[in-house]
């Protein structure tokens, strides 16, 4: 069986709940803004933490955008479509230089699932993250 590499941006739409990708220049910085809509949020340890799938999504989206484009920054805006309407869940932003500094972009696509687990805290600390602490912790 031959496994073909996943194609950008299709992989984001099919596997990571992405609904739209905008490429913009903001204050002279080439930026990809990735919009996500989740219909389910997994269990979280606290209201100020993310569920495991969202951590995986942040890593994978960051990886695929930087590996397949020449943007200088990735912004991910995630909404939760539960409880009768769209509510912001999290916003994450990281510059290419910081993602490279973390070592995460050196991983191969095959290593991506384990690399996300290993590098997520580095990505989180080098980037900017906001989490809506008003959403329920457990569904």
Q: How far is Cα 99 from Cα 132, in angstroms, rounded to an integer?
A: 23
| pLDDT of the residue at 130 | 98
Q: How many residues are given for the chain?
A: 139
Residue whose entry in the numeric block shows the structure tokens 């930087």:
66
At 67 the three-state DSSP class reads helix
What is the rounded average pLDDT for all residues in the chain? 93
CA-to-CA distance for 52 and 66, rounded, in angstroms?
22
C-beta of residue 132 within 8 angstroms of C-beta of residue 87: yes
Q: What pLDDT score does 85 carry?
A: 86
Q: Place 19 in a pLDDT band, splitting at 50, 70 and 90.
A: very high
pTM for this predicted structure: 0.94
For residue 139, what are its two tokens? 């569904």
pLDDT at 124: 96
* Residues β-bridged to residue 23: 32
- Binning pLDDT at 50, 70 and 90, where does residue 128 land? very high
Q: Which domains does the chain have, with CATH numbers?
A: 9-131 (3.10.310)
pLDDT the model gives residue 6: 78
């Amino acid at each position: 069986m031959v496994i073909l590499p996943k194609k950008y941006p299709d992989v984001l739409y099919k596997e990571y709940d992405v609904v739209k990708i905008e490429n913009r220049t903001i204050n002279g910085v080439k930026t990809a803004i990735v919009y996500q809509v989740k219909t389910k949020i997994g269990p979280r340890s606290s209201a100020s933490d993310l569920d495991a799938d969202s951590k995986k999504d942040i890593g994978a989206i960051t990886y695929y955008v930087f590996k397949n484009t020449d943007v200088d920054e990735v912004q991910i805006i995630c909404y939760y479509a539960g409880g009768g309407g769209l509510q912001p869940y999290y916003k994450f932003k990281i510059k290419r230089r910081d993602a490279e500094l973390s070592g995460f972009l050196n991983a191969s696509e095959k290593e991506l699932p384990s690399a996300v687990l290993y590098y997520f805290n580095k990505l989180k600390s080098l980037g900017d993250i906001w989490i809506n602490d008003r959403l329920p912790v457990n569904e």
